[in-house]
Amino acid sequence: MVPLSWYIMLSAVMFSIGVFGFLARRNLIIIFMSIELMLNSVNISLVAFSHYLQSMRGQILVFFVIAVAAAEAAIGLAILIAYYKNNPTIKVDEITGLKG
Amino acid sequence: MDTGFSISLLDIRPIVPEITMVCAGLILLLLDLVVRKKEVVAFVGIVGAIVALYGTFKLYGLSEPQIAFSNMFILDGYANFFKLIFYLNVIMTIGISVKYMKVEKASYGEYYALLLFSTTGMMIMASAGDLIVLYLGLELMALSTYILAGLLRGQTRSNEAALKYFFLGAFSSAFLLYGIALTYGITGTTNISDIAVSLLTLDIVGNPVTMLGIIFIIVAFGFKIALIPFHMWAPDVYEGAPTSVTAFMSVGPKAAGFAVLGRVLFDAFGVMQVQWVSILIPLAVLTMAGGSIIALAQTNIKRMLAYSSIAHAGYMLLGIIAGTSIGLTSTVNYLMIYLFMNMGAFAIVIMMRREGFQGENIEDYMGLAKDHPLASALMLVFMFSLAGIPPTAGFIGKFYVFMAAIHEGYTYLAIIAVVFSAVSAFFYLRIVVYMYMKDPKESVTLTTSPSLSIVLAVTAMMVLILGIFPSILLNLVRYSILG
Question: B60-88, pLDDT tens digit by residue?
Answer: 765 678 888 888 999 888 999 999 999 99
Predicted confidence at residue B108, as pLDDT, reads: 87
Q: Are strands B73-75 and B66-68 parallel, antiparallel or unpaired?
A: antiparallel
The Cα–Cα gap between B17 and B249 comes to: 21
Note whether A79 contacts B135, CB cutoff 8 Å: no
Class (C level, CATH) for A4-94: mainly alpha
* B360 neighbors B300 (Cβ within 8 angstroms): yes
Note whether B159 contacts A35, CB cutoff 8 Å: no
The pTM (predicted TM-score) of the whole model is 0.94
- The continuous run of DSSP H or E covering B15 comes out as none
- Please check the confidence at residue B132 and state whether its pLDDT lies above 80: yes
- Please check the confidence at residue B443 and state whether its pLDDT lies above 90: no
Predicted confidence at residue B342, as pLDDT, reads: 95
Q: What is the band of B1 on the pLDDT scale with cuts at 50, 70, 90?
A: very low
Mean pLDDT of B22-37: 93
Least confident of B108-122, B167-181, B358-372: B358-372
Note whether B190 contacts A68, CB cutoff 8 Å: no
> Which of B159, B178, B181 faces A83 most closely, judged by CB atoms?
B159
Question: How far away is chain A from the Cα of B193, in angstroms, using its nearest Cα?
Answer: 15
* B120 neighbors B90 (Cβ within 8 angstroms): no
Mean pLDDT of B202-226: 92
The Cα–Cα gap between B191 and B209 comes to: 18
Predicted confidence at residue B417, as pLDDT, reads: 95
Mean pLDDT of B193-206: 90
The Cα–Cα gap between B167 and B222 comes to: 15
CA contacts within 13 A on the Cβ side of B345: 30
The Cα–Cα gap between B156 and B166 comes to: 15
* B310 neighbors B291 (Cβ within 8 angstroms): yes
Q: Which residues contact B326 (CB under 8 A, 6 or more apart)?
A: B404, B407
**Candidates B159, B195, B237, partner chain A, best to mutate (most A CBs within 10 A):** B159
CA angle (B346 as vertex; B315, B99 as ends), nearest 5: 155
Predicted confidence at residue A2, as pLDDT, reads: 85
Predicted confidence at residue A1, as pLDDT, reads: 78
> Which of A18, A82, A100 faces B153 most closely, judged by CB atoms?
A82
Least confident of B8-12, B199-203, B260-264, B376-380: B8-12
Least confident of A16-25, B100-109, B255-264, B267-276: B100-109
Residue spans per domain, chain A: 4-94
- Please check the confidence at residue B9 and state whether its pLDDT lies above 90: no
Between chain A and chain B, the number of residue pairs with CB atoms below 8 A apart is: 123
Q: In DSSP terms, which residues pair with B354 in a beta bridge? A: B357
